[in-house]
């Protein structure tokens, strides 16, 4: 029996949610979220979690299963996803994944290598070093510990450098040693469906959606979460701008304007991320029939699969 994971992806605000519910109903299956911010239950408004009546139509996984206090990562998601999908594939031939977090989707597809867990204190140590001594200092460390990776990293991106350093130090092997870049086999087929549309149209949808979030209480939600502002989960479009407003740094209108702009930029980065993924078949969100047909053709059983 062929098992298939259909991944519906696309930039924020394009209309993944509505379509995913329709598709899930059509194929009588469940939805697995791959939206790294909808995981956090306290952040429902600002991350456009579907309303209850929508969620009730189809069973959803990985929505609100974490608290903003929890540590999470792409590799944790990979593990959680494999466990859940394994169970779900026992009763479904087709599962639907939808969300906008490119790295998390890649993780689910087996595109990130296994790298040992490291103690967070090592990361903290290098983060502190970076803040105290600057980029040059941690760059020098990396040049010594992993000269191979040093040649390819973005040397201005402290997060990249610290990630490599924490691996080098806690495993005793260079970070580049773990980067096999082969991809791991999955026990199911994968169909990637990308949603995209004219940029102007997308931007106007994003702007409108931000207004709707404000109307549904984003400000109040952000106020509730203000005390958690230092948590990584709150380093998110919609919240960080509100926090600046609460600080008195910018006006409410300015905050809303920035949320719109940053959401647009986020959408752009998402599109860039997927632009190099040749496995994605692109559609306009209005092409519902074409998308369904595409899924049906791709999942039709006979014949050797070219995946």
Partner RNA sequence: GGGGAGAUACCAAAGUGGCCAACUGGGGCAGACUGUAAAUCUGCUGUCGAAUGACUUCGUAGGUUCGAAUCCUGCUCUCCCCA
Q: Applying CB under 7 A, which residues contact RNA?
A: 12, 35-38, 46-48, 71-76, 100-104, 106, 112-117, 120, 123, 127, 154, 156-160, 163, 178-181, 199, 203, 232, 235-238, 258, 261-266, 268-273, 275-276
Nearest approach, Cβ of 241 to RNA (angstroms)? 10
Nearest approach, Cβ of 2 to RNA (angstroms)? 27
What are residue 190's DSSP bridge partners?
5
Give the torsion sign (CA, 40, 45, 47, 52). Answer: positive
What are residue 40's DSSP bridge partners?
66
Nearest approach, Cβ of 158 to RNA (angstroms)? 6
Nearest approach, Cβ of 93 to RNA (angstroms)? 29
Residue number, 27 or 39, with CB nearest to RNA: 39
Residue number, 94 or 107, with CB nearest to RNA: 107
Residue number, 72 or 89, with CB nearest to RNA: 72
Residue number, 178 or 243, with CB nearest to RNA: 178
Question: H helices within 38-146, ranges in order?
Answer: 52-57, 74-88, 102-108, 120-133, 135-145
Separation in Å, CA 229 to CA 56, 68, 129, 244, 286: 31, 10, 23, 10, 38
Nearest approach, Cβ of 268 to RNA (angstroms)? 5
User: CB neighbours of 3 closer than 8 A, spacing ≥ 6?
Assistant: 89, 93, 94, 95, 187, 188, 189
Nearest approach, Cβ of 116 to RNA (angstroms)? 6
Strands annotated E in the chain: 4-9, 31-33, 60-61, 94-99, 189-195, 280-283
Residue number, 181 or 300, with CB nearest to RNA: 181
Residue number, 89 or 246, with CB nearest to RNA: 246
CB of 276 within 8 A of CB of 269? no
Nearest approach, Cβ of 296 to RNA (angstroms)? 29
CB of 2 within 8 A of CB of 299? yes
Helix (H, G, I), strand (E, B) or coil at 288: helix
Residues in the chain, how many?
307
Residue number, 112 or 191, with CB nearest to RNA: 112
């Amino acid at each position: 029996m062929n098992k298939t994971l259909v991944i519906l992806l696309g930039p924020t605000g394009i209309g993944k949610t509505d379509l995913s519910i329709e598709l899930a109903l059509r194929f009588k299956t469940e939805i697995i979220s791959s939206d790294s911010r909808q995981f956090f239950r306290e952040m429902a408004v600002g991350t456009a979690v579907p309303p209850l009546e929508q969620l009730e139509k189809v069973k959803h996984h990985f929505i609100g299963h974490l608290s903003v206090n929890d540590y999470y990562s792409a590799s944790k998601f990979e593990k959680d996803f494999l466990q859940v999908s394994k169970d779900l594939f026992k009763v479904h031939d087709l599962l639907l994944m939808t969300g906008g977090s490119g790295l998390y989707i890649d993780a689910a597809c087996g595109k990130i290598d296994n790298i040992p867990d490291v103690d967070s204190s090592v990361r903290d140590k290098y983060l502190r070093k970076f803040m105290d001594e600057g980029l040059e200092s941690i760059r020098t460390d990396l040049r010594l510990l992993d000269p191979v990776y040093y040649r390819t990293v973005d040397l201005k991106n402290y997060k990249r450098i610290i990630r490599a350093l924490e691996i080098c130090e806690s495993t005793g092997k260079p970070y580049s040693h773990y980067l096999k870049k082969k991809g791991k086999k999955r026990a199911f087929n994968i169909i990637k469906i990308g949603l995209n549309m004219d940029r102007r149209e997308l931007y106007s949808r994003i702007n409108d959606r931000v207004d709707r979030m404000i109307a549904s209480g984003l400000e109040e939600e952000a106020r509730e979460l203000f005390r958690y502002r230092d948590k990584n989960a709150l380093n998110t479009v919609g919240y960080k701008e509100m926090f600046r407003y609460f600080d008195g740094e910018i006006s409410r209108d300015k905050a809303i304007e920035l949320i719109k702009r940053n959401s647009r930029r986020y959408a752009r980065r998402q599109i860039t991320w997927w632009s190099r993924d040749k496995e994605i078949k692109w559609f306009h969100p209005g092409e519902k029939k074409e998308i369904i047909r595409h899924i049906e053709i791709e999942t039709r059983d006979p014949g050797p699969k070219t995946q």
